[in-house]
Structure 1
Amino acid sequence: MRMTHIERTDLNLLGPLAALLAERHVSHAAELAGMSQPAMSRALQRLRDTFGDELLVRTPGGYRLTPRAERIQRQLGAVMPRLETLFAPETFEPADAAEAFRIAGTDYASVFVPALCRRVFRDSPHSTLDFGRWHDGVFEDIERGLVDLLFYATRKPSPGLRSEHLFDDRFMCVMARDHPLAHRPRLTLDDYLDSTHVIVATVSGRQTAIDNLLDQLRRPRTVGLSVPYHSVAPLAVPGTLLIATLPHRIAAEHASNPALRTLPAPQEIPPLRYHMSWHPRLDNDPAQRWLRDTVRGILAEPSP
């Protein structure tokens, strides 16, 4: 959109113009605008050249506005408050805001997202929160502006996004209580790889936090069952020889199940590193900064 008249105009003259039309006196206008009297006189001359009009005309009773100046003053009364709002720093008042926050992640996020929902609805009751499912194109969704904040496990955050490490969570092996390895205090990597596994397929049909590491060791595991959710994996274990490898925060939810036994994963499998990521264009958005601060605050609180 081309705006020919604005491009030829020094917008710094708007303040002096408003002061001159309001005060109708160069010295008084200079004081109102915080300028020297000579600087205001120069501004008046530039404004006269810009508008092709005298704007202020000296009379025996003082300066009077020309008809053009009166019309400009009426228009400024509508324009200046809008410009002030346009250039004022943005603020976010959660209690009054009605934001539509869009987050995404695997169901592992259930370890803290319910608390996030409660906090958002408590502090920003008019806002909404959409928790989208994880899928292979979720990073493209961030690029397209369809997701504001993404929660995921990775050891190498996406270089095109802002990323923040939230916490680590060690892996546990969940198996049937009568599994041949259930009596062990901890599994060795050989025991682990000799077993058949249920995996949580997070990216391209793989449980990448574990399988990428095993690929580096050139020792892939045998997959007997693939499920889309962390919450499903432990339910598939009883009555089978399957082993589900889950973050401790998920495995702990099944600790009281008498049909299951939980053991630490082999020491070669490092903890899961959990991150939140967002597009750089959201760095300074007040609402998004508040949402990220809310996530940090929840995770900083002691676990119940």
Structure 2
Amino acid sequence: MCCLHGGAYAVAMSHLRNADLNLLQALAVLLEERHVTRAADRFNLSQSAMSRVLHKLREMFGDELLVRTRSGYEPTPRGQQIQSELAELLLRLEALLRGDTFDPATANGHFRIHCTDFATSQFGPILFPRFFREAPGISLTVAPLSDQSFTDVEQGRADLVITGVVAPHALRWETLFEEEFACLMSCDHPVTGNQLTMDDFIAYPHVVVDLLGMGQAMVERRLDEYGLRRPVGLRVPYFSAAVAALPGTELIATLPRHAVLEYVDDPAYRVAAPPDELPPFPYGIAWHPRVDGDPAHQWLRRVMRETATQVTGRAPREDGDVTAAADR
């Protein structure tokens, strides 16, 4: 650890004395939203007041921080650096003020989770009542999984991703359970067997849920291993949309098994096992290493882990049983 002495300490303290640290949280929100009006709404300020805050921040850091482009505001290189460091800094300051304990019953704050509509429908009925029963002062945002989800976690705009796509090396990853595939089709689909062969699978058009901007990667990667491609007839953003598209078509939807269980007895659909070449895939959570030891985030991960156990009937993993960057 490096310590500051004499003149170096005086210089460092002069920067702190001249800075308004209350503006840091506003800066974090501005860098997350990249939109002054949305940031103002989140911070309970008027748009003009948030604009003045941004002006003060630019003076404080000697940088524009956010610049206007055709698509909205984008952070400058200095803004990107600050955003990366600020997410961890605010967590450390919160922990310093709070101490080492976390009591969800009395805590205030906000969590942001990215996941699919499948995860919301499966976990939500158990997760949401428990979450708000145990932590009535903490608000929760559930955002759609997108190609920016992992980046949002890296940059502090999101706290957790729930997904069937293993996270990149910069993040922690924990497998909650192994999920099987199932194929859902219209009741009058030409394929009538209880299990699809690979010939059946690639002979008919598929409806693909476009996850993370790369389709259903867990399916495509398996097919790539055999040098195969499935014909895509339709791309949709949600699992529920894939299900709605099937009746009266020859489309095939390859979905997590838990997503199709409610359609087993529905006369409009037929469920079949996938080809043997499509084995189960890991379903899990991803987060940034900076929150490994944070009690609030540990509580959130524990709640997610135990929720997954109730949904699947499989034992949870311990909080330390994770896959780090060097292990993947």
TM-score greater than 0.5 by the shorter chain: yes
Deviation at 1:303, TM superposition (A): 5.4
Counterpart CA distance in 2 for 1:219 and 1:88 is 54
Deviations 1:77-123 (A, max 9, x none): xxxxxxxx959841111110112011111222121133212111000
Q: Which position in structure 2 is the counterpart of 1:281?
A: 290
Coordinate RMSD, CA, aligned: 2.4
Aligned to 1:169: 179
Distance change >3 Å, CA 88–CA 265, structure 1 → 2:
closer
1:177, distance to aligned residue in structure 2 (A): 1.0
Which letter maps to 1:243? Answer: I
For each residue in 1:106-152, what CA deviation from the matched residue of structure 2 results, as whole angstroms up to 9, or x when unmatched?
Answer: 22212113321211100011111111111111111111101111111
Question: How is 1:97-116 mapped onto 2 (pairs within 5 angstroms)?
Answer: 97-110=107-120, 111-116=122-127
In the alignment, what sits opposite 1:212? 221
Aligned position for 1:143: 154
Aligned to 1:160: 170
Residue in structure 2 matched with residue 261 of structure 1 by the alignment: 270
> Contact (CA 8 Å) 2:150, 2:167: kept in 1 or not?
no
Does the CA-based 8 Å contact 2:118-2:259 persist in structure 1?
yes
Equivalence for 1:132: 143
CA contact (8 A) 2:194 2:271 kept: no
Asked whether 1:198 is paired with 2:217, we answer: no
Cα distance, 1:268 vs structure 2: 0.4
Q: How many matched pairs?
A: 226
Change (3 A) 1:138 1:174: same
How far apart are the structure 2 equivalents of 1:221 and 1:88? 53
Indicate which of 211, 214, 231 corresponds to 1:222: 231
| Pair 204,6 (structure 1): closer, same or farther in 2 beyond 3 Å | closer
Q: Does 1:251 align with 2:260?
A: yes
Deviation at 1:275, TM superposition (A): 1.3
SS state of the match for residue 231, structure 1?
helix
Would you say the 8 A contact 1:153–1:209 is kept in 2? yes
Deviation at 1:223, TM superposition (A): 0.5
Specify the code of the residue in structure 2 equivalent to 1:137: Q
Q: What's the TM-score, normalizing by structure 2?
A: 0.64
Distance 1:86 1:137 in 2: 30
Q: Residues 42-121 of structure 1 correspond to what in structure 2 (within 5 A)?
A: 86=96, 89-110=99-120, 111-121=122-132
Structure 2 Cα separation of the partners of residues 278 and 158 of structure 1? 10
Shift of 1:216: 2.4
Could you list the runs of 5+ residues in structure 2 that have no partner in the other structure? 11-94, 314-328
Moved more, 233-242 or 253-262: 253-262
Q: What letter is aligned with 1:91?
A: T
Report the CA distance between 1:205 and its aligned residue.
Answer: 4.4
User: Alpha-carbon deviation of 1:6?
Assistant: 10
CA spacing shift, 1:278–1:302, aligned 2, 3 Å? closer
- Asked whether the 8 Å contact 2:263–2:270 carries over to 1, the reply is no
1:157-178 superposed Cα distances (whole Å, 9 cap, x missing partner): 3211111000111111111111
SS of the counterpart of 1:262?
strand
How far apart, in 2, do the equivalents of 1:205 and 1:167 lie? 22
What is the identity, as a one-letter code, of the residue corresponding to 2:188? D
Cα separation, partners in 2 of 1:113 and 1:272, compared to 1, 3 Å: farther
Tell whether the 8 Å contact from 2:182 to 2:274 is kept in structure 1 after alignment: yes
| CA distance in structure 1 between the partners assigned to 2:149 and 2:285 by the alignment | 13
User: Against the structure 1 CA distance between its residues 178 and 86, is the aligned structure 2 distance closer, same or farther, given a 3 Å change threshold?
Assistant: closer
Compared with structure 1, are the counterparts of its residues 178 and 6 closer, same or farther at alpha carbon in structure 2 (3 Å cutoff)?
Answer: same
- Structure 1 consecutive aligned stretches of length 4 or more whose deviation exceeds 4 Å: 2-8, 85-89
Task: Answer with 1 or 2: which has the greater Rg.
Answer: 1
- State the match for 1:185 in structure 2: 194
Q: Quick check: 2:154–2:170 contact (8 Å CA) kept in 1?
A: no
1: CA distance, partners of 2:218 / 2:124: 20
In structure 1, stretches of 5+ residues that fail to align are: 9-84
| Distance in 1 separating the partners of 2:8 and 2:125 | 50
Distance 1:243 1:234 in 2: 9
Structure 2 matches for 1:226-237, cutoff 5 A? 226-237=235-246
